Amino acid sequence: MNPTLSLIVPMHNEAGNIELLYERLHRVLSPMQITWEMLCINDGSTDNTLDELLKAQLHHSQIIVIDLTRNFGKEAALSAGIDFAKGEAAIPIDADLQDPPEIIPQMIDLWHKGFDVVLAKRKTRDGDSFVKRNTAHWFYTIINQLSEVDIPQDTGDFRLISRPVLNALKQLPERRRFMKGLFAWVGFKTAEIEYERPERHTGQTKFNYWKLWNFALEGITSFSDAPLKIASYFGILVSLLSFLYAIKIVADTLLYGNPVKGYPSLIVAILFFSGVQLIALGVIGEYLGRIYSESKQRPIYLVRNIWQTNNHDNT
């Protein structure tokens, strides 16, 4: 019998959080008398996360350990969890306990009321730095202006998704995955609940500013071709302005006999337009690189081993 609920937990160096995460999930779900599984995807951890998972599985039958061959990244680990989830609904949840299991009953209640997706929206981002809060705000503002799909602001991967949504996500073939966008793209009837996001229990975030920048680029280029259009429109605008300026130079020379002058301005113009051209080539290169990655059709992830007990009771 398949479980009612699948918890999808990507893990990279999360050995210190495993036991407490399970205890809090068990404390929340046991009174609900539902069957559940906890899919722990070991995404190339370099600490003893795998050993701790296997040790925990000896005592907790709901834990299923999926060990990837290397670190493929959180989006790939999430995809693995979605592929292996057997539940009627699934909840991706972070192992660092910043996604509080205590709001899961509210998610399940809304699911029973007919919603296929229940988003967990952060009330505040007080745990984030000033720079991270503001860059996140601008990222969501920009991507929602550029993309045809609205991506909910201040929501992460923590959400409930029903079996029809899981099946829809499994149909999406792309290798370069921006899961927040894919969750939004499939649609379905959606509800929101708000929560306070606490600090990490142990460990450090895996995202530095450089990774967040690349993550933002991934999101924008995955769900919008607007940067390509902007480069084209900017090129047309610059060409028009250059043509108008050329007319002015000719007119000044014919009417006033002014010689063509301005060596410094000429150098500035050359450097400026060279920079514009390189930016346009960079934008094209971002899309071309993604086409190249997709054309190779490599799998999103590779599994080294799976440990499971096939027991989904709630004890």
For residues 135 and 14, membership in a common domain is answered with yes
For residues 124 and 253, membership in a common domain is answered with no
- pLDDT digits 0-9 by tens, 110-133: 998 889 989 888 876 555 555 666
For residues 204 and 151, membership in a common domain is answered with yes
Q: What is the mean pLDDT of residues 12-34?
A: 86
For residues 42 and 12, membership in a common domain is answered with yes
For residues 103 and 146, membership in a common domain is answered with yes
For position 216, what pLDDT does the model report? 62
Contact predicate 32/106, CB 8 Å: no
For position 66, what pLDDT does the model report? 92
- pLDDT digits 0-9 by tens, 126-154: 555 556 666 666 666 666 666 677 777 77
Residue 103 forms part of a structural domain: yes
Residue 84 forms part of a structural domain: yes
In whole angstroms, give the CA distance from residue 67 to residue 69: 7
For residues 11 and 75, membership in a common domain is answered with yes
Residue 215 forms part of a structural domain: no
For residues 149 and 292, membership in a common domain is answered with no
For residues 59 and 21, membership in a common domain is answered with yes
> Residue 126 is part of a domain; what is its CATH number?
3.90.550.10
For residues 74 and 160, membership in a common domain is answered with yes
For residues 201 and 253, membership in a common domain is answered with no
- pLDDT digits 0-9 by tens, 175-187: 777 787 788 888 8
For residues 59 and 167, membership in a common domain is answered with yes
For residues 9 and 52, membership in a common domain is answered with yes
Q: Which domain holds residue 262?
A: 226-296
Question: Between the CA of residue 148 and those of 102, 226, 227, what are the distances in Å?
Answer: 34, 10, 13
In whole angstroms, give the CA distance from residue 183 to residue 72: 19
Question: Between the CA of residue 99 and those of 111, 155, 165, 188, 280, what are the distances in Å?
Answer: 18, 11, 21, 23, 39
Q: What is the mean pLDDT of residues 198-226?
A: 59
pTM of structure: 0.69
Q: What is the mean pLDDT of residues 14-31?
A: 86
